[in-house]
Structure 1
Amino acid sequence: MKGRMIVLDHYQGREAAALMEDGRLIDLLIDADAPRPGAIYRAIADRPVKGQGGMFMQTPDGTAFLRQIKGLRPGQPLLVQVTGYAEEGKAIPVTERVLFKSRYAIVTPDAPGLNISRKIRDEDSRDLLLGIAHEVMAGADMGLILRSSCEGAEAGEIAEDIAAMYDLAVAVMGDAEGGAEALTEGDGPHAVAWRDWTEEAQVETFEGSFEAHGVLDAIDALADSYARLAGGASLYVEPTRAFVAIDVNTGADTSLAAGTKANIAAARDVPRQLRLRGLGGQVILDLAPMPKKDRPAFESALRKALREDGIDTVMAGFTPLGNYELQRKRARLPLADLLAEVAGGGAQ
């Protein structure tokens, strides 16, 4: 099907959401047993980690790790927010910089001030949004960021969203004393889809919509390391214990520019492949042979794709052997682990 579509359904009994464009899977969210990113805990400081400036924290869902903390004593309660998924055998990553994020607004308790996304450039729109923000946040000592999704939205919806996030922030930030407790559980896949997939799209919510729109077939295809690229090229995505290896192949193309074309096609699709497969950490791209003069074009295509991807990724650059390295935030659970969890009967 042509166009952009958001499909909200369940996968093996778990809440799930898929973003499709022209029948192609662009993003996939499946609920997991692990604490959700965005969940907020009242955690208890346990023990410091010497040399790292961090602290292990006690939460109802297990041990968390807070980086670069000063002045925190063992036994002291602190509000923290989950920033991502923990690697196997490691503590839940958390931050003390708590944010309350919704479709239109982000309330920032520790950063006062009213800000509007730079992507909104129309001065009349910015003035209108600033007026809404001042009206709803009057007298508040917290900060507010209005997201780019506010452009074109109804003023009433924006005001309601700001008020809901502010009320939640006041309630949570005022509950900082006591034992270890989960204060919010974080957004599930359907809420995240509503919050972050804000471009105009057809929305399907009926039971069985994953099957009807090809999402199940796309998930099955992700079990294979092979992925076809534009122009007949292909790549293989193979996670190891130390890093994710991506091998780029030219296919049947034997022209002088085959390597460059395959590598640029890979650059455009690698962020999507990593996102769908839930892979992060160190990523090494074994590129097809191409002249050094074509490297800037490859990096430009990769930079653009990563900017649209939205998951923090550092472009570390070329190695002496001609491979390309990335360092990517572990913002998702590996899909293979999640599907194994689902198959093991851990449905919520």
Structure 2
Amino acid sequence: MKGRQIILDHIQGREAAALMVDGHLDDFLIDGDAPRPGTIYRAIADRPVKGQGGMFLKSPDGTVFLRQVKGLAPGQALLVQVTGYSEPGKAIPVTQKLLFKSRYAIVTPEAPGLNISRSIRDEDERNRLLEIAHDIAGDTSFGLILRSACDAAEREDIAEDISAMLSLADKAMTESEGPAATIAQGDGPHLTAWRDWSDSAEIVTEQGGFEATGVLDTLEDAQGPHITLGGGAGMFVEPTRALVAVDINTGGDTSPAAGLKANMASARLLPRALRVRGLGGQIVLDLAPMPKKERRAFESALRAAFRKDVIDTTLVGWTPLGHYELQRKNARPALREVLT
């Protein structure tokens, strides 16, 4: 099926959302067992980690870890926000830089100022949005970011969103003193889909939507390691305890350009493969053989593919053995651990 579909359903009793683009599963959100990213705690400083500049904190959901801490004493209360999912056996990652994020607006209490998405380039539209922002948030000391979804959106919808996020931020920022507590829950898959998948799409909310639209079949494929690249080539994406290994093979194609073609195809498909599988952390690519002179073209294709991705990924570079390394935020629960 051509076009975009957003399917909101449940699977194995878990809330989930799927984004289908031209019949392919482009993104998938599902509730994990760990606290949702975006959850805000009043946490209690516990003990520093020497040599790493971080500190373990006590929260209602167990131990969390805060990086780059200065001047924080054990027993001190502070507000922190969950930034992603932790690896098995590790503490939940958190930050002190709180974000209150919705479809149209992001409120940043610690970073004052007004910003509009750079993707909105029309000056008249930017002036319209500035007027709305000043009318609703002109007196606040909080920062405000207007997202790309504001482009051509109704004034009332944008104003309501800004007001709701400002109210939530104002309430949360008054909760900094006291014992460990959960101040706000992170958004679930359905709300996150509404918030982040803002491009025009058909919305399917009926029970059984995953089966009717073919999502269950694509999820079954996604739980396996193999991804077809075309022309007989393939890519295997396999998580281990330490890292995610990606192996690219040319298959039966023995032509001189086979390696480059397979590697370029893998660069285009890798962000989607990682998103759908919920994989992050250290990622090592074992590429198909290609001349060193083609590395720059491969890097450019990889950079362009991840530039469009919604999850922060750092392209680290080449190893002495010719592997390529990435570092990716653990923003999703691993599909293989959730759907067992």
Pairwise same-fold verdict (TM > 0.5): yes
| Aligned-pair CA distance for 1:42 | 0.7
Deviation sequence 1:47-83 (CA, Å, 0-9, x none): 1222222211111000111111112111111000000
Residue 217 (str. 1) matches residue 217 (str. 2): yes
The aligned residue for residue 174 of structure 2 is: 174
* Secondary structure at the counterpart of residue 229 of structure 1: strand
State the alpha-carbon separation in 2 of the partners of residues 240 and 327 from structure 1.
15
8 Å CA contact 2:31, 2:333 repeated in 1: no
Residue 117 (str. 1) matches residue 146 (str. 2): no
* Secondary structure at the counterpart of residue 308 of structure 2: helix
The aligned residue for residue 343 of structure 1 is: none
Query: Where do 4+ consecutive residues of structure 1 move more than 3 Å?
Result: none
* Secondary structure at the counterpart of residue 141 of structure 2: coil
The aligned residue for residue 7 of structure 1 is: 7
The aligned residue for residue 132 of structure 2 is: 132
8 Å CA contact 2:41, 2:180 repeated in 1: yes
| Aligned-pair CA distance for 1:272 | 1.1
| Aligned-pair CA distance for 1:180 | 0.6
The aligned residue for residue 248 of structure 1 is: 248
The aligned residue for residue 306 of structure 2 is: 306
Letter in 1 for 2:214: G
Residue 42 (str. 1) matches residue 49 (str. 2): no
Letter in 2 for 1:100: F
The aligned residue for residue 333 of structure 2 is: 333
Deviation sequence 1:281-334 (CA, Å, 0-9, x none): 111111111122221221111111111112111111222222211111111221
| Aligned-pair CA distance for 1:253 | 2.2
| Aligned-pair CA distance for 1:232 | 3.2
> How many pairs does the alignment contain?
340
Deviation sequence 1:134-181 (CA, Å, 0-9, x none): 000021111100011111211110010000000000011111111111
Map 1:158-169; keep pairs closer than 5 Å: 158-169=158-169
RMSD: 1.1
Deviates more, 1:326-335 or 1:118-127: 326-335
Map 1:186-335; keep pairs closer than 5 Å: 186-335=186-335
The aligned residue for residue 344 of structure 1 is: none
Letter in 1 for 2:27: D
State the alpha-carbon separation in 2 of the partners of residues 41 and 335 from structure 1.
26
State the alpha-carbon separation in 2 of the partners of residues 270 and 333 from structure 1.
17
Map 1:38-77; keep pairs closer than 5 Å: 38-77=38-77
Letter in 2 for 1:159: A
Letter in 1 for 2:281: G
State the alpha-carbon separation in 1 of the partners of residues 290 and 166 from structure 2.
53
The aligned residue for residue 105 of structure 2 is: 105
Deviation sequence 1:237-293 (CA, Å, 0-9, x none): 111122111111112322221111110000001111111111111111111111222
State the alpha-carbon separation in 2 of the partners of residues 20 and 196 from structure 1.
14
TM-score (norm 2): 0.98
The aligned residue for residue 96 of structure 1 is: 96
State the alpha-carbon separation in 2 of the partners of residues 63 and 174 from structure 1.
23
Change (3 A) 1:321 1:50: closer
8 Å CA contact 2:279, 2:332 repeated in 1: yes
* Secondary structure at the counterpart of residue 43 of structure 1: strand
Identity %: 66
Letter in 1 for 2:233: A
| Aligned-pair CA distance for 1:189 | 0.2
Letter in 2 for 1:115: N
State the alpha-carbon separation in 1 of the partners of residues 319 and 141 from structure 2.
48
State the alpha-carbon separation in 1 of the partners of residues 230 and 94 from structure 2.
39
TM-score (norm 1): 0.95
State the alpha-carbon separation in 1 of the partners of residues 151 and 129 from structure 2.
9
* Secondary structure at the counterpart of residue 57 of structure 1: strand
State the alpha-carbon separation in 2 of the partners of residues 123 and 232 from structure 1.
48
Unaligned ranges ≥5, structure 2: none
Change (3 A) 1:116 1:258: same
State the alpha-carbon separation in 1 of the partners of residues 146 and 108 from structure 2.
11
State the alpha-carbon separation in 2 of the partners of residues 292 and 20 from structure 1.
36
